[in-house]
Amino acid sequence: MIVILAVTVTAVGALWWDHQRTVAATSLAPAAAGGVGTNEPAVQATREPGFAKLKGKWLRPDGGYVIEIGSVEPGGKLEVAYFNPQSIHVAKAQASAEGAATKVFIELRDVNYPGSTYDRVYDAGSDQLTGIYYQAALKQRFEVAFVRMQ
Mean pLDDT of 20-30: 36
The per-residue pLDDT for 47 is 47
Mean pLDDT of 132-144: 96
Angle at CA 114, nearest 5°, toward 131 and 91?
70
The per-residue pLDDT for 74 is 82
Q: What domain range includes position 70?
A: 49-150
Tell me the residue type at 141.
R
What are the pLDDT digits (tens) for 28-76? Answer: 333 333 334 433 333 333 345 579 999 999 999 998 999 999 999 988 9
Query: Which CATH number characterizes residue 88's domain?
Result: 2.40.128.30
What are the pLDDT digits (tens) for 69-93? Answer: 999 998 899 999 999 999 999 999 9
**Same-domain check for residues 53 and 85:** yes
**Same-domain check for residues 80 and 138:** yes
**Same-domain check for residues 101 and 125:** yes
**Same-domain check for residues 60 and 32:** no
Residues 6+ apart with CB under 8 A from 97: 47, 48, 49, 76, 103
**Same-domain check for residues 30 and 86:** no
What are the pLDDT digits (tens) for 86-119? Answer: 999 999 999 999 998 999 999 999 999 999 999 9
The per-residue pLDDT for 69 is 97
